[in-house]
Structure 1
Amino acid sequence: MNRNILVRALLVVLVLFLGTSGWIIDREVGRTFSDDPLVWEPEIAAFERVDRESPPPRDAILFVGSSSIRFWDDLAKDMAPMNVIRRGFGGAKLSDLIHFTDRIILPYSPRAIVIHAGGNELTDAPGNRRRTPEKAFADFQSLIALIREELPDVPIYYLALRPSSLPDARDRLLQRVREDCEAQPDLHYLDAGAGLALADGSPNPRLIRWDFIHLNREGYEAWAPPVRERLLGDLGPGPLHPAP
């Protein structure tokens, strides 16, 4: 093939790729900043379709929350021998989890629930209607109360937000959540973020993906061990079902 033609073809492919990627990123950012939980309906419906086709095991540990759970591709391996169900989606907020509780939390009859959400509410990016830490905490309380109506005795763990570029808002929310966990039976605060931060408390860029937001595989390898150690110590390995 003529070299000039090849170069032009590669440039066209690159432009198409960048244009498509930009559209996808813009769409995902728009959904993350939306106040309407129904923007996540396709993801929730996909979970339900998977559940019908391949029912997950009972008595597993349910991990539910935002994209940090969604991108945890090796969660089952990282938590072995405990069986887990992974239900993370998009830029989920605590208010989104409230809306979809009856579809992605209650149906699984989990032996424990791990929640990781609350960071997207605090983001001060342009276009986001930022919540205060107090509003995010109120949503956390509402979510716990909703779960407790149907699952009064199931241990619930709040997996603390990772080190952030907005430490003040993050710390205010986490302080309220920690105090609430200390005051309630079977509600636990799980902070596994120490290995993800630099000496000054800021996120370690070596553990972050190209998007400067989410953990890369090395980041998950640092995050997973304290989570596994805590859950295994508290709950034991559990039933020996195959992980979904």
Structure 2
Amino acid sequence: MYKRILLLKSLKKTAFLTFYIFLIAAASSAQTENVFTNEVKNIVTKYDSIWDSNKETIVFTGSSSVRLWKKLEHEFPNHQIVNSGFGGSQASDLLLFIDDLILSYNPKKVFIYEGDNDLWSKKRPADVLDTTEEIIRRIKANDPTTQVILISAKPSISRWKIRGKYKRLNRKMERFTIEDTQLYYVDVWTPMMNKRKLKTDIFIEDGLHMNQKGYDIWYDAMKDLVNQQ
């Protein structure tokens, strides 16, 4: 009888913990949605009026380094570019909003910049890559012919102290893309460096985001992949 009571208590405790974990996960998901929902809606509204479904589309998405690339669409005038970058996002946020920010445009190519904020939030490079793999899986399930280009984490003044993590993530992403001919890796880390020293004149005052000099480097690094048939 005593053992039965202990068993019932144990089962109740397990059920309570399971329910509690579920509530935390649900609250976390809802919080993420609340943070980015309005921004995502604004992106969707913007392109609802200008996106042509009859034209091939190239999507650039990810965190604020993409969002703040103001001249992106003008720098590739021969292509229909959708800039669905949303500031402060992590790979898990992009996965959450993948339908609105990527899949709804049936893109021929997708350039992704995530990982910067993830690592700064103390996520491991391996965790970032796991989430990125799921994003790619969803893109490929939508259209196996879509090319996916992973943009390396960039160096920056404000986050220089964790440069080792950024370099580890970049190595992991580069190795990962070698295994699939439809995956590509763009190295923006190297051209933003002057050998071992960071080029400091390519950033705005916050030491994190880039000025036009920085985006000129990105343009040079990506133009061949954008124009490649």
Aligned-partner residue type, residue 178 of structure 2: E
Q: Extract unaligned runs of 5+ from structure 2.
A: 1-27
Aligned-partner residue type, residue 142 of structure 1: E
Partner Cα separation in structure 2 for residue 64 and residue 229 of structure 1 = 18
In structure 2, the CA distance between the partners of 1:147 and 1:37, relative to structure 1 (3 Å rule), is: farther
Partner Cα separation in structure 1 for residue 116 and residue 186 of structure 2 = 15
Asked if residue 185 in structure 1 is aligned to residue 217 in structure 2, the reply is no
Pick aligned residue for 1:216 from 211, 214, 219: 211
Q: Which residue number in structure 2 is paired with residue 101 of structure 1? A: 98
Aligned-CA RMSD value = 1.7
Structure with the greater relative contact order (CA < 8 A, sep ≥ 6): 1 or 2?
A: 1
The answer as to whether partners of 1:159 and 1:192 remain within 8 angstroms in 2 is yes
Identity over the aligned pairs, expressed in percent? 24
In structure 2, the CA distance between the partners of 1:81 and 1:53, relative to structure 1 (3 Å rule), is: closer
The SS at the match of 2:87 is: coil
The answer as to whether partners of 1:56 and 1:85 remain within 8 angstroms in 2 is no
- Matched length: 195
Question: C-alpha displacement at 1:122, in angstroms?
Answer: 0.6
Aligned-partner residue type, residue 225 of structure 2: R
Partner Cα separation in structure 2 for residue 78 and residue 100 of structure 1 = 26
Pick aligned residue for 2:124 from 124, 127, 132: 132
In structure 2, the CA distance between the partners of 1:199 and 1:185, relative to structure 1 (3 Å rule), is: closer
1:196-222 CA distances to partner (integer Å, 9 max, x unpaired)? 1132143x1100001110000121122
Q: Which residue number in structure 1 is paired with residue 220 of structure 2? A: 225
The SS at the match of 1:62 is: strand
The SS at the match of 2:44 is: helix
The answer as to whether partners of 2:153 and 2:169 remain within 8 angstroms in 1 is no
The answer as to whether partners of 1:163 and 1:201 remain within 8 angstroms in 2 is no
The answer as to whether partners of 1:122 and 1:169 remain within 8 angstroms in 2 is yes
The SS at the match of 2:145 is: coil
Greater Rg by CA: 2
1:77-130 CA distances to partner (integer Å, 9 max, x unpaired)? 22233331111111111101100011110010111111111110111xxxx4x1
In structure 2, the CA distance between the partners of 1:56 and 1:65, relative to structure 1 (3 Å rule), is: farther
Q: What TM-score, normalized by structure 2, do the two folds share?
A: 0.79
Aligned-partner residue type, residue 145 of structure 2: D
Q: What TM-score, normalized by structure 1, do the two folds share?
A: 0.75
Alignment of 1:29-44 (within 5 A): 36-38=31-33, 39-44=35-40
Q: Extract unaligned runs of 5+ from structure 1.
A: 1-33, 236-244
